[in-house]
Chain A
Amino acid sequence: MYSILKAEKLNENIYLMIVKAPRVAKHCLPGQFLIVKLDEKGERIPLTICDYDREQGTVTIVFQPVGASTEAMTALQTGDSFMDVVGPLGNPSELITGDLEETRKKKILFVAGGVGTAPVYPQVKWLHEHGVDADVIVGAKTKDLIILEKEMEAVAGNLYITTDDGSYGRSGMVTKVIEDLVAEGKQYDVCVSIGPMIMMKFCCLTTKKFDIPTIVSMNPIMVDGTGMCGACRLSVGDEIKFACVDGPEFDGHLIDFDEAMKRQQMYKTEEGRALLRLREGKTHHGGCGNCGGDN
């Protein structure tokens, strides 16, 4: 069992947890992820490692409920535990494993969308601790959905916050901020974009215009996370890659995002039913005609 030392609701839609997992905490680096499993019948849910404390043997995860399993996770409280936690999985971020001297010479732009702010944070923090101050754009639909603002401010070079509805910071999508920054004369050697696939796709289209090499962190459907099933496969250029072992970070300009987004929807109907079952319990009698009314 892996106990939850802290469970906190960051805003209406995003949750943070600190989990005891000494083997993961000892070896993880920014860019890597772990897999949690709630109980015996649970799914294996991949989540980015958003922070870690090697001495305490803890890791921090930040998540957003999107389906039945992540929804069920929202009920967990401080003192509860996960049945299984495994990691660290995937490869650490290139900026962190690469030559530090080279990295120091680079102008780096991070683009975070929604819950993607959480996985961006440890990278920016690591770079800051190693003398590299990166610019960061954080985007969200509306003011209430901005997370980790203070933490990010402490480690970022310049922090640009934007909301789709203009309720806070700049107004408009993250892609607009990229355009504006470039128009203001900013130059970047590399961009790291993490967030929903659709955001990463448009972010890549924008950076391509300006010839800024862009790294994205892919979050396809996974099962084992160790290279065993191929569920997480992506087309990268003309190669097929497994996100869990070859990634999760890839050259965003080579990713076939349309295919990846379709693959992410693969279990939409099955999962939709599971979510309805969970939310409505026994009262769900399948009035929609989609589930055969068997629950």
Chain B
Amino acid sequence: MDMMKRVPITEQDAKVRATNFDEVCLGYTEEEAVEEAGRCLNCKNPMCVSGCPVSINIPAFIEQVKNRNFEKAYEIISESSALPAVCGRVCPQESQCEGKCVRGVKGEAVAIGKLERFVADWASAHGVKPQPAKEKKGKKVAVIGSGPAGLTCAGDLARIGYDVTIFEALHEAGGVLVYGIPEFRLPKEKVVAKEVENVKSLGVTIEKNVIIGKSITIDELMEEEGFEAVFIGSGAGLPRFMGIPGENANGVFSANEYLTRNNLMKAFKHYETPIHAGQKVVVVGGGNVAMDAARTALRLGADVHIVYRRSEAELPARVEEVHHAKEEGVVFNLLTNPTEILVNEEGWVKGIRVIKMELGEPDASGRRRPVEIPGSEYEIEADTVIMSLGTSPNPLITSTTEGLEANKKKCIVADEANGQTSKAGVFAGGDAVTGAATVILAMGAGKAAAKGIHAYLSEK
């Protein structure tokens, strides 16, 4: 075996998977996992750990995998992460743990994410569950939102003995994990529903169909319903549009709408909610959300183009997703930006006019700024355009909560160390605070806030 290379992982064939919604990556078998674990050097000063936002003790859990002690490996991961089956699948490992792994200097980094996923799936298959608290504290905490931040915060607080209720606006728990990230990357029944069940088995109550700020306010939760602390993990769900002509035409969707119709409302399984699948689809944007929308449209039978204004190196999506999208046949129009959506007489999209770009000076984000090349406009035929330009937090909660500070971008202002906001007893974390980020960061923020809430309530 070549120790420079990682043990290859089995994936569904690109041609086959482009026509179904089953998971793309099939995961390691036990033998493969043990073999891959053998590549870890068990570094004294493990760089990988410094790359993981929640500092999972990576060498220690991998050591246990090597020794086929999977339950122990799961325990080690669980000390730092509440959602390993999710993070092992969706973390941008190449820029986090694996990006720092010393194995990666000369050869391929250890497949930390895939090993983490293996351990989590093993634990789930073998019925290993987190243990509920033995003693109850008799204090109520409300958690707003059931995404990774909320689930993690709720789970941690329940384990300490708090009486936790999660309030979720939608009819299903999981946040972006259920409405955004598609089935073929993150199976809903097998992974997300299980994680939600785990949190419930710790004694957490989930009340769905409650929109904080509309159905009830934070002040009422605290004053009338007896919650002594509140965690806000409401995410960043508001889609952005470009403001170009034609954007309200029939056949133009936000990625959130397209993905929600398919994932949450399960259009692909022929639930009642319709989806306009499209035959020639253009997706505008280059993040994970754009890749997910593109690959969803492909699976619904469309020819798909991605239009992104910078070059491949700047694509914010996970490398693995870009790679998978290409394999499946998504066409990338890079250094290209839309200027207008072309509309036919009936009000439907018939194409999109784009202009070529080149990279100029670096901007505030440190990335080179794309600049239009005059006279380079051309048209791409399309019957569907999916806008995937990022999202921002919904102002519903900040606008209905007295004394809760938000910044210019509508993000809630909260202390990174403990989630404390400008309002006593109210904590926040995840995308609601940072703007759209990652699952692992949201989870980390949920953990930090759980500690912050525990400290606050212990003193109170």
Binding site for B on A (CB under 8 A): 23-24, 26-27, 37, 40-44, 68-69, 83-89, 223-224, 226-231, 233-235, 240, 245, 259, 262-263, 265-267, 270-271, 274
Contacts and interface: CB of A to CB of B under 8 A. Distances in A.
Interface in B148-169: 169
B146 interface: no
Given A229-B254, A266-B276, A86 B241 contact: no
Given A41-B272, A228-B238, A231-B257, A83 B171 contact: yes
Given A23-B215, A227-B396, A274-B274, 7 more contacts: A23-B216, A83-B171, A88-B215, A224-B260, A227-B237, A229-B254, A263-B347
Contact of A267 (B171, B247, B276, B347): B276
B170 A224 contact: yes
A44 B265 contact: yes
B12 interface: no
Most chain B beta carbons < 10 A, residue from A43, A230, A267: A230
Given A24-B215, A224-B170, A271 B274 contact: yes
A37 B264 CA distance: 13
11 contacts: A23-B209, A24-B215, A26-B216, A44-B273, A69-B272, A86-B211, A233-B241, A235-B248, A245-B396, A265-B250, A266-B250
Q: Is the interface of A mostly helix, strand, loop or mixed?
A: mixed
A88 B254 CA distance: 24
Interface in B67-117: none
Nearest to A229: B257
Given A84-B208, A259-B347, A223 B274 contact: no
Contacts of B276: 266-267, 270
B295 interface: no
B241 A230 contact: yes
Interface of B: 169-171, 179, 208-211, 214-216, 237-239, 241, 243, 247-248, 250-251, 253-254, 256-257, 260-261, 265-266, 271-276, 346-347, 394, 396
A271 B274 CA distance: 7
4 tightest A-B CB contacts, nearest first: A270-B274, A262-B347, A229-B257, A86-B209
B257 to A, nearest CB: 4
B203 to A, nearest CB: 22
A259 B216 CA distance: 34
Contact of B266 (A41, A44, A85, A224): A41
A27 B254 contact: no
Contact of A262 (B215, B243, B346): B346
Contacts of A69: 272
Nearest to A69: B272
Contacts of A228: 179, 237-239, 256, 260, 394
A83 B260 CA distance: 19
B278 to A, nearest CB: 12
A223 B239 contact: no
A178 to B, nearest CB: 29
B216 A229 contact: no
Given A23-B215, A86-B215, A235-B248, A240 B260 contact: no
Nearest to B275: A270
A27 B214 contact: yes
Contacts of B275: 270
Contacts of B251: 266
A87 B208 CA distance: 11
Contacts of B273: 43-44, 223
Given A227-B237, A227-B396, A274-B274, A240 B248 contact: yes
Given A228-B239, A229-B256, A274-B274, A37 B248 contact: no
Nearest to A278: B272
Contacts of B266: 41
A85 B347 CA distance: 33
A230 B253 contact: yes
Contacts of A223: 257, 260-261, 265, 273
B192 to A, nearest CB: 16
Nearest to B274: A270
A235 B170 CA distance: 26
B269 to A, nearest CB: 8
Contacts of A229: 239, 254, 256-257, 260
Contact of B250 (A41, A42, A263): A263
A152 to B, nearest CB: 28
Nearest to A90: B214
Contacts of A68: 272
Most chain B beta carbons < 10 A, residue from A26, A86, A229: A229
Contacts of A226: 169-170, 211, 237, 394, 396
Contact of A42 (B215, B261, B272): B272
A231 B257 CA distance: 7
A240 B254 CA distance: 13
A267 B277 CA distance: 11
A84 B266 CA distance: 16
A22 to B, nearest CB: 10
A231 B241 CA distance: 12
A267 B138 CA distance: 50
Nearest to B215: A23
A214 B157 CA distance: 51
A220 to B, nearest CB: 11
Contacts of A270: 274-276
Most chain A beta carbons < 10 A, residue from B214, B216, B260: B214
Most chain A beta carbons < 10 A, residue from B170, B241, B251: B170
A278 to B, nearest CB: 9
A235 to B, nearest CB: 6
Nearest to A258: B347
B265 A23 contact: no
B171 A86 contact: yes
B171 A37 contact: yes
Contacts of A274: 272, 274
A23 B210 contact: yes
Most chain A beta carbons < 10 A, residue from B169, B257, B261, B265: B257
B442 to A, nearest CB: 16
